[in-house]
Structure 1
Amino acid sequence: MPNVDTDQIMPARFMRRPRDERYVAYGFHDLRFTPEGATRPDFILNQPPFNQAGILVASRNFGVGSSREAAVYALLAMGYRAVVAESFGDIFFSNALKNGLLPVKLPESTVNALRGAVAAAPGATITVDLQRQILTAPDGAEHGFTVPPFARDCLLRGLDEIGLTLTLADDIAAYESSRPPLAAG
C-alpha cells in the first residue's frame, strides 16, 4: 500500500499517551482493529508469520505526513527493526534513524520482488546487514543500500543522540572543569 502516512501508523488520538508497552497496540491501530476493538483477521500484519516479522516490507512514500516520532515508537514496539520501501517521508526517515529504526531504501522493482517473495512463501527470510549495508532477499540475492555514516554508527552502537553524548560525559566534564566559571549578571 503506497503513501502510508504517520496517522495510519500511529493515530493521533494515541499521541498524548506516554511511550510504554501499550504502543504495540497503537501501531496501525485503525487497520489492525475494528471500531469495536476486535482484531481484523484479514489485515496481513495480524496474520502469522507476518505478525512476528522484524522487517516491514512497505511501499513508496512510507511515513509521509506529519512529524510524528510516535509512529517510529509504535513500529519499534511492534518488533520492527527495519522498514524497506522505495521511498520514505523525509521527516519519518530522519525520525527513524534517530530512534533506532532502520529505513532501507531500495528500487521499486526490488521492493515489489521482496513483497512477492514473502507473499508467495510466508516465513521467507529477509536479512539486513547494517555493517555491510546489504539486504539479502529470500532467494539469496543481495541488494546494497546506504545509510548516512553518523546514523549508521549510532544504529550499530545502539545509541541515540543523547546516548552518544553521554558516552562523552567524562570529556565534557573535563572540559567544563577547565573553563573559568561564568560571571553572574
Structure 2
Amino acid sequence: MQKFTKLSGIAAPMPLVNIDTDMIIPKQFLKTIKRSGLGVHLFDEMRYDQDGNEIADFVLNQPQYRAAQILVAGENFGCGSSREHAPWAIADFGITCVIAPSYADIFYNNCFKNGILPIALPQEQVDVLMKDAEKGANARIEVDLEAQTITSSDGETFHFEVDAFKKHCLMNGLDDIGLTLEKADAIAGFETRASAARPWV
C-alpha cells in the first residue's frame, strides 16, 4: 500500500448525501477479487448511460475533474452494504482522499486499509471546500496528514481529527498484511521454537 503523507490535488465536488456503496460500485462488478480495474466502473450508473456512453454533466466526466484525487461529498458517505470493492474502485480511479461530514463505519475503516484518507469535517467547513472544488482544475486543495490540516486554494486552513493508529498505518503504507509483516522476525522465531519443542507437529 502506498504511503499517504501530503496531497495537493484537484477536488471533485459531489454535493449528495447518503452516497451508498452500490452507487460507488454497482453489484454487477463485485465478481472480481482484484483491487485493480474497478476505477472505470466508479459511480458507473451515474457516469454512463444505458449504451455505455459517458454522461457529460457527471462531475468525473468533466475535463477539469478527470484527474481528481480528492472527493468532497455529503454526509453519510459509503452507507449501504459493506463491500470492500467500494474503496478499491475509488483508489483505482486515483482518488486518495474523501472529505465529508460523516461516513458509514465499515466504509470508513475500509478506506484506511486501502490507502484512502477519509476526513470528517463539520458541515460548514465541507461547504467551504465544496465551493472551492467547484472552481475546477485551477483550485487545488492541500491535505497534510502529519499536521492533520486541509488548506483550500484560498489559503483557508481546517484541522481534522484522525485515529493515531490509522494515521500511523497510512503514513507508513501499512495495510493488515503490512502490519503482520512488521512482525516477521518474531513470527519466524516462534515457528522455530515451536518446531523444536514439538517436532512431531
Q: TM-score under structure 2 normalisation?
A: 0.86
In 1: Cα distance, 2:176 partner to 2:107 partner? 16
The count of residues paired between Structure 1 and Structure 2 equals 184
Is residue 157 of structure 1 aligned with residue 157 of structure 2?
A: no
Q: Note closer, same or farther for the CA distance 1:20–1:73 as it changes in structure 2 (3 Å cut).
A: closer
Counterpart residue identity of residue 160, structure 2: F
How far apart are residue 163 of structure 1 and its match?
A: 1.0
Q: Percent identity, please.
A: 41
Are 2:24 and 2:86, in contact at CA under 8 Å, matched by a contact in 1?
yes
What pairs up with 1:31-110 in 2 under 5 angstroms? 31-110=46-125
Q: 2:63 is paired with a residue of what secondary structure?
A: coil
In 1: Cα distance, 2:200 partner to 2:82 partner? 40
How far apart are residue 183 of structure 1 and its match?
A: 6.0
In 2: Cα distance, 1:121 partner to 1:20 partner? 28
Are 1:49 and 1:122, in contact at CA under 8 Å, matched by a contact in 2?
yes
Are 2:35 and 2:85, in contact at CA under 8 Å, matched by a contact in 1?
no
How far apart are residue 48 of structure 1 and its match?
A: 2.0
Write out per-residue CA displacement over residues 5-54 of structure 1, whole angstroms, 9 at most, x where no aligned residue.
00000100100024254211111001101111001111011112211111
Higher strand share: 2
In 2: Cα distance, 1:36 partner to 1:62 partner? 28
Q: 1:61 is paired with a residue of what secondary structure?
A: coil
In 1: Cα distance, 2:18 partner to 2:185 partner? 45
Are 1:50 and 1:123, in contact at CA under 8 Å, matched by a contact in 2?
no
Is residue 131 of structure 1 aligned with residue 180 of structure 2?
A: no
Q: TM-score under structure 1 normalisation?
A: 0.94
